[in-house]
């Protein structure tokens, strides 16, 4: 499975790097919203409009990048899926595998593409959200960051305990 994921990435890495780069840029822009909202409010209270113009500009840029990423993602991941399915079908047909098994394996190919299309960007977004939140809290109050890190450690420890229980129930 890891070999197939590596092959998919190595074959398509230029397109994947562009789509992941756009995802990173989108996440960075998203982290700027609280800052620019605060500045917009401060400027409006002083009857200035530069803050709201900056916020609107960020929103337009973020929306444009999001639209471009969605278009590029659709093209990239459709092409990856089509290439993968064609290679699976041809390989399985050449080996004399039954049609029903070929159909099932073709459908399973979608799961591999979904990993790159959904799971990797979701992981990046979650990491950016966590780190961005901690940095913003750090700028606000150092004690809150300490409490958050303590909570993360406790949740991680609890998760290890519950994963062992889960695996014991489901795989025994």
Q: Looking at the structure, tell me whether residues 128 and 146 fall in a common domain.
A: no
How does DSSP classify residue 95? T
The yes-or-no verdict on residue 2 having pLDDT over 80 is no
Based on the domain organization, do 92 and 20 belong to the same domain?
yes
Give pLDDT tens digits for 32-78. Answer: 999 899 999 999 999 999 999 999 999 999 999 999 999 999 999 99
Q: Mark whether 114 and 170 lie in a shared domain.
A: no
Domain count within the chain:
2
Q: What is the pTM of this model?
A: 0.73
106 and 119 in a single domain? The answer is yes
Which residues does 9 contact at the CB level (< 8 Å), separation at least 6?
A: 16, 116
> Could you give the percent of the chain with pLDDT greater than 70?
98
* Parent domain of 20: 2-140
Question: Does residue 105 contact residue 88 with C-beta atoms inside 8 Å?
Answer: yes
CA distance readout (Å), 132 to 19, 62, 121, 124, 140? 21, 17, 16, 12, 12
118 and 146 together in one domain? no
The CB-side HSE value for 41 (13 A sphere, CA atoms) comes to: 5
Check whether residue 63 and residue 148 sit in a common domain.
no
Q: How confident is the model at residue 97 (pLDDT cuts 50, 70, 90)?
A: confident
- To the nearest whole number, what is the mean pLDDT of the chain? 89
**Same domain membership, residue 161 and residue 99:** no
pLDDT of residue 160: 87
Q: Where are the alpha helices (DSSP H) in 46-98?
A: 50-94
Same domain, 69 and 154: no
| Per-residue model confidence as pLDDT tens digits over 114-141 | 888 999 999 999 998 888 888 888 888 8
């Amino acid at each position: 499975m890891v070999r197939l994921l590596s092959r998919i990435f190595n074959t398509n890495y230029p397109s994947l790097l562009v789509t992941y780069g756009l995802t990173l840029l989108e996440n960075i822009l998203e982290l700027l919203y609280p800052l620019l909202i605060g500045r917009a409010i401060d400027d409006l209270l002083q009857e200035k409009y530069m803050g709201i113009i900056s916020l609107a500009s960020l929103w337009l840029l973020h929306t444009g990048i999001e639209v471009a990423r969605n278009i590029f993602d659709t093209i990239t991941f459709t092409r990856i899926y089509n290439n993968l399915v064609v290679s699976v079908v041809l390989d399985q047909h050449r080996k004399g595998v039954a049609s029903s098994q070929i159909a099932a394996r073709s459908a399973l190919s979608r799961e591999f593409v979904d990993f790159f299309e959904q799971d990797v960007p979701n992981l990046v977004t979650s990491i950016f959200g966590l780190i961005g939140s901690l940095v913003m809290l750090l700028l606000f109050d150092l004690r809150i960051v300490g409490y958050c890190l303590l909570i993360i450690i406790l949740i991680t420890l609890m998760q290890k305990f519950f994963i062992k229980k889960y695996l014991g129930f489901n795989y025994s």
